[in-house]
Amino acid sequence: MRYRALGGTGLEVSEIGFGCGGTAGLMINGSFEAQLAAVSRALELGINYFDEAPDYGDGVSETNLGKVLKELGADPIVTTKVEVRNEDRGDIANHVERSVEASLRRLGREYVDVVQIHNGPVEEPPQLEGRDYRVLSLHDYLRPDGALDGLRRLKASGKARHIGFICRGDDGGPVRQLIDTGEFSLVNIVHTLLNPTAAYPAEPGMEARPDFGQVIPYAHEKGVGVAVYSPLASGVLSDTALAGEAPHPLSGLARRTGPVSDQRARQMASAARFRVLSRQGQTLAQAAFRFVLSHPGVTMVLGGFSDLSQLEEVASTSDAGPLSPEDTSGVEAVWSAPRSTRERTRREACS
């Protein structure tokens, strides 16, 4: 396992982080024995970073991770988040503090290394309904008693060592404004073979939505760490998904009902174009992780693991290094393929 500096925090984090969310599902739906085995093996492999949030199983994931780390006597780097919903907008700073205090009780910790706002920043006040927390206006981030004030209080009290936020796409301007405050040490962002716009401009005709505005090199220039989440595009960038195999029974995907959405069908067809990266000695998932780690502005990739085999599969990508020049050329060829070729590939994949 290789390690990279997390911005200017002084922390050295493993290139592969352990994501504890619902897409993989292990830390929410798995048995204690399976969770214990996976976390123990992750630590053995050199993974020292665990990514949490209250929304992962409505606190269940944080509780389970806390129990496992206590059993192992382990003290890795842990990040958690705060979701700001419509009901919280009248008292955001206090909500941020209360949320993290509840997370610390579930985790059994006195502090976390990083606290992030789970809402991506946007210019205009959003319409948040029900449990939605996807975005938050810059005003609510930066105003007195807003999200940043709450994060500052957590740092001052010692309950958070560093702070950060999430990028949701089509938010390059607001993300840069938050980075420019000089207060944030980490941003989480999507950067995949299917949508590389967090690091590179979209090729003409590339169907990459949303646009992540080349935030990675900007954050790197400003000394801010970058954690890439959903590197497999919710699982479609894997040999098993492209082979039509059922999702792992613990995963959030396995718990969804109804027909495949049009969006996922389009993602599957796009992912099929990258099968060229899958060969003897390298799975498509491994190639997808190596692609992300090829960018010097990326601090770590957050893997979501449903079982030990998935953990073992991607943990090895750190030592493997960046994509080979041949694979890089193959990726660029897929990106620049004419639209007519992409449409034909999509029709063939869906037929």
Polymer length of the chain: 351
The band of 202, judged by pLDDT with boundaries at 50, 70 and 90, is confident
2-41 pLDDT per residue, tens:
999 999 999 999 999 999 999 999 999 999 999 999 999 9
The pLDDT value given to residue 342: 45
- 135 sits in which H/E element: strand 135-137
The band of 337, judged by pLDDT with boundaries at 50, 70 and 90, is confident
Report all structural domains of the chain as residue ranges with CATH numbers, in order of start.
3-259+278-323 (3.20.20.100)
CB distance 49 to 226 below 8 Å: no
Neighbouring residues of 176: CB distance < 8 A, sequence distance ≥ 6: 213, 215, 218
Pick the residue with more confidence: 47 or 205? 47
CB distance 115 to 60 below 8 Å: no
| pLDDT over threshold 70, residue 133 | yes
- 85 sits in which H/E element: none
β-pairing, 160-166 with 112-117?
parallel
Note the pTM of the prediction, 2 decimals: 0.94
CB distance 351 to 279 below 8 Å: no
227-262 pLDDT per residue, tens:
999 999 999 999 999 999 988 999 988 877 667 678
Cis bond before residue 54 (omega within 30° of 0): no
